[in-house]
Structure 1
Amino acid sequence: MGPTLRRPRRRRWASLLAVTAVAVTAGGALACPAGAAGTNVDFATHCIPPAIAGIPPIDGTTTGNVSVDTTTPKVGDTVTVTYTVVTAAASNPTELALPADIMTPTGKVTLGGAQTGDVTVAGPKKNEPVPGKGAFPSFSMTGTFKVTQPGAITLSPGDYNIHTSYIMELDTPCTVITPPAPVSETVTATDSTPVNQRAITLGSASGNAGDSVTVNGTGFTPGATVTLAGRSGDKQTKDTATVTADAKGTFSGPLVVNDKTTTGIVAYEGASWDEKKGAGPAAYAVGGTTPPTPDGSQKLTTTVKAGTLSMTQAGNAVALSAVDFGKGGASTGSLNKVTVRDFRGGPAGWSLTGKVTDFTNAKFTGPSAKIDAGKLSWTPACETKAGSPSTCKAGSAGTVGSSGATLASAPDGTLTGGEFSVDAGLSLDVPAFTPAGSYSAVLTLTLT
């Protein structure tokens, strides 16, 4: 009986060790959102595995990258930040393969320069199976911060944590040994008259259902009653609490989060959410409890592999209608249809923008033989394919110009994706006495 009992015990602890190995190496196969990435930077990292693993701390090198949705915000704007762990501090140290979708990453990005503080970021519970002794793919986390000061604001990758849900709930924090890590991205904020200076930070970017998270706020109305609330995508959950701002407009209070679909936390003054009197959402993830597989049963798993964000267009040339010399007017046409496919399966939305060069005539030079880029306008349209989780929104009709404009977009959400058809009517306002001839320009579309 002795040997018969010991062998099952070894198999059980091997499974637990495999879970811990995931946490120690901080890996996970999460697709990185599309966008203009910052610079990859290396920094020394100290990871502490759960005590049950029996594995000593790991000191290694993490390669991180921080990107933003805009590098030129104005004071008062909200900037979306994506923190990607390109290369984790270590690889899977065991011979055991690790299952899919057991890891939920959270972390922080450190701000410096004109504005200081930390941005909490969180990623979805999604990873591909990892073979024994195999390297861990990268994973991404997103969050937002409100710009409160003009000038250059630096962003550095910070501490991150891997929460694993496999047999039991485990956490492995990985910290920057010599903070802050090198700067990965810089945004330059311009001054404006900010309507809303309210901002919040969280004591933690994740927790289990029923845990309390500390919400810290600044810039609120002194003495105001402030509602703290969970958000699931763009909807408010039932998890709420109230605090009172002090004489300086600051507060610190707890919010118990029970809803497992929570993706962020907001704070606001008044009876309901109003972005002019609120702050957030700050990214927050809720872990669950996965019961062990009972004796005599078999756990079945499958994998839905994440794809990419891409676009194709029906053609690369558009002939606008001719206009008469001396009369000028609208030279019109239609943009070649663009198909956007978002098969990433994460929480990130997308934006399709365009900008155009001046229209020039190869046979003539000088100001009179040029039609300014600001003369081109469009009327965007967008259709969503049936069954798509996201719904696209057409950009506003108006000038395209050299600085660019939005053609179409889809918002962030708990689950995004789908297929979308985008086009636009084009109109070039040609001055009356523009020299006769053929004029051409390049319209560039960018999907992020």
Structure 2
Amino acid sequence: MSSTPRRSPRWRWASLLGATALAVTAGGTLAGPATAAGINVDFATHCIPPAISGLPPIDGTTTAKIAVDNTSPKVGDTVNVTYTVVTPAASNPTDIALPADIMTPTGKVALGGAQSGAVTVTGPKKNDPVAGKAPFPSFSMTGSFTVTQPGAITLSPGDYNIHTSYILELDTPCTVTNGPAPTSETVTATTGTPANTRAISLSSASGNPGDSVTVTGSNFTPGATVTLAGRSGATQTADKATATANAQGSFSAALTVSDKTTSGIVAYEGGSWNADTGAGPAAYVVNDNTPIPDGSQKLTTTVKAGTLSMSQAGDAVALSAVDFGKGGASTGALQTVTVKDYRGGPAGWSLTGKVTDFTGPGAKVDAGKLSWSPACATKAGSPSTCKAGSAGAVGLTGATLASTPDAAATGGEFTVDAGLSLDVPAFTPPGSYSGILTLTLS
């Protein structure tokens, strides 16, 4: 087969960020064929020519290969698949020469190993002219599947059908004889680690020794036992209680705070504090109500706690152009995000992001194709020091953009940036595509 290259418009990106949401729009070519090609395999095929041809069934050999756009996906990722029939077993069943662009192929790709099932693939109505009784030319079909199990997943060519639309609508179905066909490609899926979005809030920021504070949590594991505990810097105090997350991962429970050293409250799943399965600390002050000795005066002042907030420099990001037929990295920079932590207390913060698939006119690009290279700077005099997240894919499950650790004293101002890169597959249909990059500060 041959294809006629078309120019794609330049990529355009725009961001729409409310308090925590960034909308990204791209115009250009996205979600095209796979890029990691498998090996050619041969398999016996039984093809049935259209009845009008008067030809008997054809028992021959098909040569085909499978390609994917990601050989190392995570569970939940979408893998784009291309099934190329290099040498079909069937030929033009008529003496009539077939003109260009009248063939529409469809087929199946068989999954095996860690995940079973079949991927439906379809091809464009695109072909070179075919002489009467001449072999059909090579053709490709594309589809996708969602990874549901970790481990090695094999992909093998399956049945295919060649539909021709010229004078008559004719089908030539070809089935795999004694299937499955040999494995052409293998992907190895991993479980993946989703971003921690657990969060807690307190009914009060202070109280006397022995007072009760209501702790409200969200995004915990449904049904999990959650420990509520006081913290003094990095050390857990004697204040402790438990709660059970409901079916939505939420809870609301009381914690009695008696330890005067408690300066924050955390909530976590499991036997001990773990930042990956916990939330907080949320700042909490235990009032000092020690009696005043005779002849003395107690002088007090108040430092009012502020908030944890973020803002961004703008709402539009322009990425570099990519060309149809070449694809590659469409790059740019995230609008600078400014984080201000004026809460006081021991709690650090975490800024995470996750992105949806980019969807457009009949095609999409997987969310895992967007990667970033974070950077974070700390304003002089800030008690905390900002740490940039790791460079890599953002994806549906998300990644950390920047954070500060829990400490005895925290707070300050920080600027967060990131280089953005979308890996655009080659030969993808021009158009406008959009996805949502959501930033969450907690």
Superposed pair shares fold, TM > 0.5: no
Q: Which has the higher helix share?
A: 1
TM-score class, shorter? 0.3 to 0.5
TM-score, with structure 1 as normaliser:
0.42
Q: Which has the higher strand share?
A: 2
TM-score, with structure 2 as normaliser:
0.42
